Chains A and B, each alone.
Chain A
């Protein structure tokens, strides 16, 4: 019990901090991609003379603009919290909390390491070892749209309402594809338990190729990333929001309630990065690393102590998640937004049939090799 609480605290601490850091990554990465410098004026400089060493330590952080997330938070908390008259006050307040809760709950089922043996006790590095974790995560992800639709309804604004409707139709179109792409993975590894799926990816194909989801299901990987990006409601799939042109579902929100919707997008980005890592890039697997050391396919063996193995696994998982976050951010700052009809055509006429075909082909192959 205590261990679970500590694990949950660690996981959610990392996720929330990383999500807050995403606002900084978003600004800075887009700036570097566009040959700019990016936001760097939110600085903490202590006015006292004796604080000179502290200022010296703070200077690199100031130069990197790392205090901008804090400045954002202060701004959001001190802004007027406006509830539109004739809107539903209760639901209007509830919506951002729902959106955020459902976005965060899923992280409980993500395995970020194998097992840690500490003082004779076996700790599973997963907050909630659910044996149908895939179902749990997708149930929670689908519920996420509830907050968004509710925001549109409760605002009593036609713009927000239409934004919520667009969000609902987009989620519906892409959620199904997202589920179907993973059917192939589930068939190959024969389980709905995320930990087991990751363990299955530690096996080797032909004796040298790690059996990562990307290798056995390449088409599903591309479909998953495509549909997963739609899940995050960010460009190129930001028709529910469309801050600048088509007014979105959080039109009537201000202050931290808006901030929570904003934050939800980042949390969902991390969630999709975690899922892509877990299903397609071997989760916490390090190639050729087994519980007692590296077993290279050419016969070499390098023993690694247990704590180092666990550290490597967690590091591997984190690195892959960072990579996907970077990739999603790059895609977000590269592509323009899909038009509504293009979005629906891509969802229903493009990736959904391909995902179905992928399932059928995978089923046939799995049957042949059984």
Chain B
């Protein structure tokens, strides 16, 4: 195949472009148009009119939250059996598949002889997690899910980003506050 060259035609500036002023007026018409349109709708909203028309795209975050799609991968949780114990059998599949190596499981014998193992501890370091969802895919027991809808994950220290089994079994949306308290008492 012959090599083809695409010649891009650069727009040539004419006299009216060169003297800036008409182009600046054109630009100000666009931004000014947005300004007056939005000001009109802001004023109308205050009067209780045109509520259906948005004047700003802003979502006032802590009070209003953007709807999250059902399949969004959010903070992890461990599912429970009927008696409240974790469904996890400590098979280490998630720990093995984890590309970020952020899952740390210590296995122990389960008292029920029909279930082979259970996690003595199950820690996830959210500071390392890449939210790929491989752990959920790999789990043969449907024991780990990423459907808590918790997105505001933050802490004041690296230690604070680590979740233990208690937190994973009972996801707390305000965990950040708990983390803050923990991080102040090392």
Distance in angstroms from B94 CB to nearest chain A CB is 40
Tell me, yes or no, whether A36 is within 8 Å of chain B by CB: yes
- Name the interface residues of B12-67: CB closer than 8 Å to any CB of A: 20-21, 24, 27-28, 30-32, 34-35, 38-39, 42, 55-58, 60
Question: B residues within 8 A CB of A33?
Answer: 31-32, 34-35, 38
Q: Which of B21, B34, B38, B60 has a CB less than 8 Å from the CB of A222?
A: B21
B34 near A334 with CB under 8 A, answer no
Q: Which residue of the partner chain B has the closest CB to A354?
A: B19
Question: B residues within 8 A CB of A333?
Answer: 31
Question: A residues within 8 A CB of B58?
Answer: 36-37
The total number of A-B Cβ pairs within 8 Å is 42
Tell me, yes or no, whether A330 is within 8 Å of chain B by CB: yes
A35 near B34 with CB under 8 A, answer yes
Question: A residues within 8 A CB of B38?
Answer: 32-33, 35
Question: A residues within 8 A CB of B39?
Answer: 32
- Name the interface residues of A11-36: CB closer than 8 Å to any CB of B: 29, 31-36
Given contacts A330-B28, A333-B31, contact A35 B56 (CB under 8 A): yes
Complex Cα–Cα for A29 and B42 (A): 12
Distance in angstroms from A178 CB to nearest chain B CB is 17
A36 near B56 with CB under 8 A, answer yes
Tell me, yes or no, whether A331 is within 8 Å of chain B by CB: yes
Distance in angstroms from B186 CB to nearest chain A CB is 28
Q: Which residue of the partner chain A has the closest CB to B32?
A: A330
Tell me, yes or no, whether A335 is within 8 Å of chain B by CB: yes
Complex Cα–Cα for A331 and B30 (A): 11
Interface of B is mostly: helix
A35 near B57 with CB under 8 A, answer yes
Question: A residues within 8 A CB of B57?
Answer: 35-36
B35 near A32 with CB under 8 A, answer yes
Q: Mark A327-351, 1 if CB is under 8 A from B, else 0.
A: 1001101110000000000100000
B28 near A331 with CB under 8 A, answer yes
Given contacts A36-B56, A37-B56, contact A334 B35 (CB under 8 A): no
Q: Using a Cβ–Cβ cut-off of 8 Å, how many residues does chain A contribute to the interface with B?
A: 16
Distance in angstroms from B9 CB to nearest chain A CB is 23
Question: A residues within 8 A CB of B20?
Answer: 346
- Name the interface residues of A26-80: CB closer than 8 Å to any CB of B: 29, 31-37
Q: Which of A31, A32, A331 has a CB less than 8 Å from the CB of B24?
A: A331
Question: B residues within 8 A CB of A346?
Answer: 20
Distance in angstroms from B44 CB to nearest chain A CB is 14
Complex Cα–Cα for A334 and B30 (A): 9
Q: Which residue of the partner chain A has the closest CB to B26?
A: A334
Complex Cα–Cα for A35 and B39 (A): 10
Complex Cα–Cα for A85 and B129 (A): 44
Distance in angstroms from A32 CB to nearest chain B CB is 5
B28 near A334 with CB under 8 A, answer yes
Given contacts A31-B56, A32-B42, A37-B56, contact A330 B24 (CB under 8 A): no
Complex Cα–Cα for A181 and B31 (A): 28
Distance in angstroms from A262 CB to nearest chain B CB is 23
Given contacts A36-B56, A36-B58, contact A29 B35 (CB under 8 A): yes
Complex Cα–Cα for A76 and B48 (A): 38
- Name the interface residues of B87-130: CB closer than 8 Å to any CB of A: none
Q: Mark A310-336, 1 if CB is under 8 A from B, else 0.
A: 000000000000000001001101110
Distance in angstroms from B37 CB to nearest chain A CB is 9
Question: A residues within 8 A CB of B32?
Answer: 33, 330
B-contacting residues of A (Cβ < 8 Å)? 29, 31-37, 222, 327, 330-331, 333-335, 346
Q: List 17 A-B contacts (CB under 8 A).
A: A31-B56, A32-B34, A32-B35, A32-B38, A32-B39, A32-B42, A32-B56, A33-B32, A33-B35, A35-B57, A37-B58, A222-B21, A330-B28, A330-B31, A331-B24, A333-B31, A334-B28
8 residue pairs, one from A and one from B, having the closest CB atoms: A37-B58, A334-B31, A33-B35, A334-B27, A32-B38, A37-B56, A33-B31, A35-B57
* Known A31-B56, A35-B56, A331-B24; further 15 A-B contacts with Cβ < 8 A: A29-B35, A32-B42, A34-B34, A35-B38, A35-B55, A36-B57, A37-B56, A330-B28, A330-B32, A330-B35, A333-B31, A334-B27, A334-B28, A335-B24, A335-B27
